[in-house]
Amino acid sequence: MISIKEVTTKSEMKQFVLFPFSIYKDNDYWVPPIIKDEIANFDANKNPVFKNADARFFLAYKNNKIVGRVIAIINWYEVNKQKIKKMRFGWFDVIDDIEVTKVLLEKVNEIGKQNNLDYIEGPVGFNNLDKTGVLIDGFNHIGTMITWYNHPYYKVHLEQLGFVKEKEYLENKFKFENVDGTYYKRISNIIQRRFKLKALDFTKTKDILPYVDEMFEVFDATYSKLSTFVPISDAQIAYFKKKYISFINPEYIKFVVNENEKLIAFAIVMPSFSEALQKMNGKLFPFGFLRLLNARKHSKDVTFYLIGVHPDYQNKGVTAVIFDQYATTFKEKGIVNCIRTPELEDNEAIKKIWENFNPITHKRRRTYRKNIV
C-alpha cells in the first residue's frame, strides 16, 4: 500500500530534501545539493519565487518508508499573464516502482484539476533559473550543481503512464584547446571597433553587482521568445545576487557594453563544483566550505551557466568579444573542459554560438507532459 503525505513540518521538509541521498547512495554521477541551501530554497519566507508561485510538497510512503517525492508547482505569472495553463512538477525522485510514480503524479494532476489547468509538465522548477528535465541519455557522466540526475527508469515510468515528450534539451561539452584564441582576439578587435563596444573584465565581486539588474534585462530580451520563458522578478534577481554571485569567480563573469556604457551582452561561467559537492555529501561543515573554496579557485572544468546578447546586437559577432575574454582567462587558469548547461534542441541560435568548438553531446534530457483529466 502506497500512501501520500503533504510536507507540513520542518522535520518533514528535511526528510524531503534528504530522500535522494538514499536512492543515489554510492552513485558516482549524482551530485548532491547542499542540504541547508536546499531547505532555504523551499522556504517561502526566504525565496521570493513564492510571491508569484504556489508549491506543495509531497512524500510517498510504502511500508512506513519514504519511497518518493515531488513538488506540485503553479507559476501564476505563467498562468494568468501568459495564459499558459500549465501545472508544473519538479524535484521528482522515486524508487523503481511505477506505482509510486503513478500515485505522486496523480496528486499533481488532482491539484491541476482543482485549479482549472490544462496539462502537466515536468520535471521543471519554478522558472528559467531552476533545474529542468529528466535525464534520458548520458547516465555515466557526472552531473552539475545546476542539473538534476536520475536513474534510467524515470523515463520508463513517465512514458508507461502516458506522458509524452514536451521539450528536449542537449548538454554539450568541449575541450578548451578547441578554442582558437588568436582567431577570437582578431575578430573581437574588429567587432569592438565596428560597433563601438567595450569588454568588461572583473577581479572583485563588488564591482559586478551594479550590473546585475541590467544583466537580467539583457537576459529577458535574449530569451523572451523561447517557449520556456517566464520573466524573472526584481526580488528573484536580488535573491540570485545573494545566492550565486559569491559562488562565482569574478574573473568568470564577462560583460560587453556599447558606447553609452549600456550592457548589451554577458556571460556567466561557474567553476565545476561537482566533485567538491560529492565529497561534502550535502554538508557545509566542518570541511565542506573549504572544498567549495578550493574548487572555486582551482577547478580545471567550468560550466557555462548563462549567456545572453541583446536582440539589437545578435548576429553581429558579439560573442567573439566574450570568447576572446574567456580565452585569455581560461589560459591563465589552465582550464581543460568547458561544459554547457541544458539547451533546447531546437535553439538554432545557441547552436551557432558553439559550433566552432567541436562540441560533443554527452547528455540529453526531456520534460514530459500529459493532459489533466
Q: Which residues contact 215 (CB under 8 A, 6 or more apart)?
A: 255, 263, 266, 308
Q: Do domains 2-170 and 174-364 have the same CATH topology?
A: yes
- Return the CATH number of the domain spanning residue range 174-364: 3.40.630.30
Cell digits of residue 258: 556599447
Each residue of 343-353: pLDDT tens digit?
A: 999 888 888 88
Over its C-alpha atoms, the chain yields an Rg (Å, rounded) of 21
The helix-helix angle for 234-244 and 212-223 (nearest 10°) equals: 120
Model pTM above 0.85: yes
> What is the domain partition of the chain in residue ranges?
2-170, 174-364
Average pLDDT over residues 113-137: 95
Assess contact for 54 and 76: CB atoms under 8 A: yes
Q: Is 120 exposed, middle or buried (0-12, 13-18, 19+ CB in 10 A)?
A: buried
Each residue of 192-219: pLDDT tens digit?
A: 999 999 999 999 989 998 998 899 999 8
Q: Is the pLDDT of residue 309 over 90?
A: yes
Q: Is 297 exposed, middle or buried (0-12, 13-18, 19+ CB in 10 A)?
A: exposed
Mean residue pLDDT across the chain = 94
Each residue of 234-290: pLDDT tens digit?
A: 888 888 877 777 778 899 999 999 999 999 999 999 999 999 999 999 999 889 999
Assess contact for 184 and 199: CB atoms under 8 A: no
Cell digits of residue 229: 520563458
The Cα 177–Cα 357 span in angstroms is 9
* Per-residue confidence (pLDDT) for residue 227, from 0 to 100: 67
Q: Which residues contact 323 (CB under 8 A, 6 or more apart)?
A: 179, 184, 188
- Return the CATH number of the domain spanning residue range 2-170: 3.40.630.30
